[in-house]
Every structure is written in structure tokens, then in C-alpha cells.
Amino acid sequence: MSVLDTSTGSKPTGSDGRPDGGPDARAEDRDPRTGTRAALQGGKGARVEVRGAHKSYWDLEVLRGVDLTVEPGTVTAVLGPSGSGKSTLLRTINHLEALDRGAVAIDGEIIGYDLRGDLLVELPEKKVLAQRTRVGMVFQQFHLFGHMTALQNVAEAPRRALGVPKREALARAQELLEVVGLGAKADAYPRRLSGGQQQRVAIARALALRPQVLLFDEPTSALDPELVEEVLSVIRELSRAGTTLLIVTHEVHFARDVADQVVFMDGGRIVEQGTPAQVIDAPRHERTRGFLQRIHAG
């Protein structure tokens, strides 16, 4: 896509500084096998497990027992009508939403709680924040910090959450902005950017912590149709970078393209899950079929 091509010419500046990257990872910008630029690579993908997730808001049951496994480095698309619990599920994975019952684990580490015998003891905020730095999140409404430039937005979390020195954080932020094709917009405030550009900054911001898991909550739903592709192409490139991706989306074609696993949710449960070919092209469940038909019609 043109968006990404613009950035290909500009080599990432400054040293990579990745703790886990070997010398050959630094030797060239692109991984020869996947064709993905090194800067895009977050941490090594982690395994996400959700077990028996229940969540209610007062008398409204949002999650009624969700079990889901996402293998390291794979892409899972979550489909389903509004109010089916997709977003809530996503938000429980980085503990923005606490579960009533059940648990979430990333690479076997339980998120938000300390397991003591049969008890899940809530972790102090500091530990939860540390866990969250392994999980990046991209929101439907972007939620860029409005009083900061694009560059400051991307550099903020490494500085405040990881204590990276300002200079280093800014250099890495510039590099990430170039990867999402916005190197020239580093000093622009979010309000001066288009929706698609804002969402690409938000993706760069999520990548700045080199997350092992990236959560996308309807990343293109707030965008004008002609801006959707520029964001999707960034996500598509990310999907080859080895980070584990969970994407709540209404873009069925996109889901079929990039997802290794598709999950269809309704009424707080996972109704159907499998490969894109199984769930999107040959849905077995009545509810899935109806939903996909309506999406295609609309």
C-alpha cells in the first residue's frame, strides 16, 4: 500500500536497542522470511488464554463463560453483533475490565491477579501496570492524548512506564511513526490529523512498548470508508511480524485475509470458532450465518 511504501525509503534511525533482538535482527531492516521491517516487530508473540470468563454489569451479563486460546504469533479476529461482549472480552485481557469469574493468562502468567491456592488475589496497581506494558491496545476512538504531538504520544509510555530516557524514547518514536508512514507528521497535534492518521499514530503508540500481544478494538469503525485501508494495511503488516494479535472488527473480508482464527460471539458467549474458511465461508451456526448475511448486505 502507498501508505507503507512512503516509509520504506527512510531507514530507521538510531540503534534499535531491543533487549531481545540478536545481532542479525539489527543487520538489516527487513526480516528476509516475512519481509517485515524490524521496527514493526514488537516483543516475541505470547500465548493468550481466557478461561471461564464471566462478567456482569449489575444485572446485565456481558460475558457468560468465554474460553479462548490464541497461539503465540497468530492473528485472531473476533466478530459479532454489538453488545455481544467482544469489546469487553478484549478489555479483560489487559485487565482494563476485571472479571467476576474466570481468568486470563498471557504466557501462563495470570493477568491482574496472584494465584494463591484457590484464591485469585488482586495484584497491586504497580504490578498490573507492568503486565499491561506487555499488551498493547488500540481503541475505536483512538484516544490519542490531545495535548501532545504525535511524537510525544508515542514516546510517553516508554518514558513514564518503562523509564526510557527522553532522547531514546523520542528517537524510537520517530522511527515508529516512519514505519506507519507518518514520519513527517511527528509534530502535529492529533486534532490536525485525519482519522486514519490518528489511528496509525495510536498503533505506533501501542507498538512503542514492544508488546507481545496487541489488542485492536474495532480499529476502523470510527473511520471514513476511504481511510480504512491505510489502517488495515498497517495491521496486515503487523500480522506478519510475529506479535500475537486480537482484532475485534466488522471488516469480514479483512478478517478472512489476515486471521488464522476467527471467533464469532453472541450474547456473551463464543458461538463458533475456527479458521476463516470454516467460520466465514461455511458457518455452521444459524446466528453466525444471519450475522454474516446482514454484514454482506450492508
Partner 1 sequence: MEGAPVTLTARQAASRTLRSSGADADASAPDRAPAASSLDALGDEGIARLRIAPAHRPVRRIVVAVLGALVLLALVLIVLNPRWEWNVVASWFLARSIIRGLLETLKLTVLAGVLGFGLGLVLALMRLSGSRLAAGLSWTFSWIFRSTPLLVQMLIWFNLGYLYDRIVIGIPMTDLTLFDERTSTLMTPLIAAVLGLGLHQAAYASELIRGGILSVDAGQVEAASALGIPARHRHLRIVLPQAMRAILPTAFNEVIGLVKGTAIVYVIAHAELFFTVQLIYGRTQQVLPMLMVATLWYIVITSLLSIAQYYIERHFAKGAVRTLPPTPLQRLRANLGAKGRDRTEVHA
* Interface ranges with partner 1 (CB under 8 A): 94, 96, 125-126, 129-133, 135-137, 139, 141, 143-149, 156-157, 160-162, 189-192, 205-206, 209
Q: How far is the CB of 276 from partner 1 (least distance, A)?
A: 27
Q: How far is the CB of 158 from partner 1 (least distance, A)?
A: 9
Rank residues 11 and 192 by Cβ distance to partner 1 and give the closer one: 192
Q: Cell 480499529 appears where? A: 219
In angstroms, the CA 232 to CA 251 distance is 9
Nearer to partner 1, 4 or 245 (CB): 245
Minimum CB distance to partner 1, residue 190 (Å): 7
**How many angstroms separate the CA atoms of 18 and 154, rounded?**
17
Place of cell 454474516: 292
Supply the minimum distance, in Å, between the C-beta of residue 293 and partner 1. Answer: 22
Give 172 or 205: the residue with its C-beta nearer to partner 1: 205
Q: Which three cell numbers stand for residue 149?
A: 504531538
Identify which of residues 173 and 271 has a Cβ nearer to partner 1 in the complex. Answer: 173
Among candidates 125, 182, 113, which has minimal Cα distance to 154? Answer: 182
Judge contact between 84 and 267, C-beta under 8 A.
yes
CB of 82 to partner 1, least distance (A): 18
Tell me how far, at minimum, the Cβ of 154 lies from partner 1, in Å.
10
Paired residues of 266 in beta bridges: 269
DSSP string, 26-47: HHSSB-TTT--BGGG--SPP--
DSSP label of 279: I
State which residue, 96 or 120, has the beta carbon closest to partner 1: 96
Beta carbons within 10 angstroms of residue 205's beta carbon: 29
- Pairing relationship of beta strands 244-248 and 213-217 according to DSSP bridges: parallel
Q: 147 vs 284, which CB is nearer to partner 1?
A: 147
Report in angstroms how near the CB of residue 137 gets to partner 1 at its nearest. Answer: 4
Q: How many Å apart are CA 137 and CA 210, to the nearest integer?
A: 12
- Please, what is the Cα angle at 194 between 191 and 199, to 5 degrees? 90
Compare residues 105 and 279 and give the one whose CB is closer to partner 1.
Answer: 105
